[in-house]
């Protein structure tokens, strides 16, 4: 819209067909933007039949600024700080550039600048994913265009990358990690791919197939985090008094119920799929957590902790 404004202000008489070609969007998209500029931003736009293009009926200076409240400005600041987790990755430069363009068009009602507020909020990320921006862009473009994608993928159990050909369905970010949900054409099944393990991605520029009625919400309905689960089970975990308060401070799953115990601990109950991400989460609490149900999960956690203890042997100086 800013570019359209510049053309109108310069009396270039742009039209929808020409703008659609310049911006590589549809005719209807351009028409909606012009309608928004005229009806919502109240810019004096009219169509000149003789010149076959739009023009301003009276002089217009700067493109209208977007006015935000103090609360919205703080929320925008938090979003800007969240970008800090990508510092040092290929995402940093384009994210920072996009945010600066957005911030430059804002006008805070409270008269408080983002620079003044930035000292009040900070992020200290850890385990930042090393996703390649080029891979992300390739997948996103193919997804929007509806094209088949090929890439090399190193699964966790593989010893070397495998070439995959997929129909992309959806890109999702879970716990700071980007994933591609797609239909694997060779395996004939839906798969979830971590972008950090994708290399040499390219769009084949031919139509992809997406199942009718596909829903990410339904796909992860029983999941604890990023792993798709076949069905939900009743999971009960007891936490000691040291950890119970920490557990209570977060919403781990939509089905969770936390029951305080007389000793200061707590019992967490969830109806969730038992998958590797749930096991890793429980193991992360170490001796402070005990699985009560289901019995199979209790045995798996016990065996994993026994194996971990075995790595250290009996010699503390080893």
Nearest CA-CA partner of 214 in 148, 272, 170, 178: 170
The DSSP 8-state label assigned to residue 6 in this structure reads H
Residue keyed to tokens 């193919």: 142
Task: Give dist(CA 144, CA 60) in Å, integer.
Answer: 35
Q: What is the pLDDT along the chain (318 residues), one digit of tens a residue?
A: 888 998 999 999 999 999 999 888 899 999 999 998 998 888 999 999 999 999 999 988 777 765 666 666 667 666 766 676 677 666 777 877 777 776 666 654 444 455 555 666 666 666 666 667 788 889 999 998 999 999 999 988 888 999 999 999 999 888 778 899 999 998 899 999 999 999 999 999 999 998 888 888 888 888 898 888 778 999 999 999 999 999 999 999 999 999 999 999 999 999 999 999 999 999 999 999 999 999 999 999 999 999 998 888 766 565
Q: Please, which residues have CB within 8 angstroms of residue 58's CB and are 6 or more apart in sequence?
A: 44
Residue 232 near residue 222 (C-beta atoms within 8 A): yes
DSSP string, 42-85: ---EEEETTTTEEEESS---SPPPEEE-HHHHHHHHHHHHHGGG
CATH classification (class only), 2-56: mainly alpha
CATH code for the structural domain at 133-218: 2.30.30
3-state SS class at 214: coil
For the chain, the domains span 2-56, 66-120, 133-218, 233-310
| pTM of the shown model | 0.63
Q: Tokens at residue 10, please?
A: 């310069």
Confidence (pLDDT) at 35: 93
Annotation: CATH topology of 233-310 = Alpha-Beta Plaits (3.30.70)
Residue 175 near residue 225 (C-beta atoms within 8 A): yes
Q: CA–CA distance from 291 to each of 231, 234, 286, 299 (Å)?
A: 19, 11, 11, 9
Number of Cβ atoms within 10 Å of the Cβ of 226: 17
């Amino acid at each position: 819209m800013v570019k359209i404004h510049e053309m109108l202000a310069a009396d270039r008489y742009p039209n929808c067909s020409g703008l659609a070609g310049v911006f590589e969007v549809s005719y209807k998209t351009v028409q909606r933007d012009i309608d928004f500029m005229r009806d919502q931003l109240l810019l004096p736009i009219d169509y000149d039949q003789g010149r076959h293009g739009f023009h301003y009926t009276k002089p217009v200076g700067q493109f209208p600024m977007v006015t935000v409240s103090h609360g919205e400005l703080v929320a925008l600041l938090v979003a800007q700080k969240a970008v800090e987790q990508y510092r040092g990755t290929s995402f940093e430069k384009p994210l920072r550039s996009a945010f600066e363009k957005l911030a430059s068009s804002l006008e805070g009602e409270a008269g408080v600048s983002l620079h003044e507020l930035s000292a009040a909020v900070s992020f200290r990320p850890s385990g930042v994913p090393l996703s390649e921006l080029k891979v992300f862009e390739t997948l996103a473009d193919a997804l929007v265009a509806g094209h088949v994608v090929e890439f090399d993928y190193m699964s966790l159990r593989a010893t070397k990358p495998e070439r995959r050909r997929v129909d992309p369905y959806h890109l999702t970010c879970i716990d700071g990690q980007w994933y591609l949900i797609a239909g694997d054409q060779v395996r004939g099944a839906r798969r979830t791919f971590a972008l950090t393990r994708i290399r040499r991605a390219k769009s084949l520029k031919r139509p992809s197939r997406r199942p009718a009625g596909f829903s990410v919400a339904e796909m992860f309905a029983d999941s604890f985090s990023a792993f798709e689960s076949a069905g939900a089970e009743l999971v009960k975990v007891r936490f000691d008094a040291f950890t119970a308060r920490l557990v209570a401070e977060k919403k781990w799953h939509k089905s969770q119920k936390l029951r305080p115990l007389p000793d200061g601990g707590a019992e967490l109950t969830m109806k969730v799929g038992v998958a590797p991400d749930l096991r890793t989460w429980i193991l992360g609490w170490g001796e402070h957590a005990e699985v009560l149900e289901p019995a199979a999960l209790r045995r798996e956690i016990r065996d994993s902790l026994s194996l971990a203890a075995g790595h250290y042997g009996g010699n503390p100086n080893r």
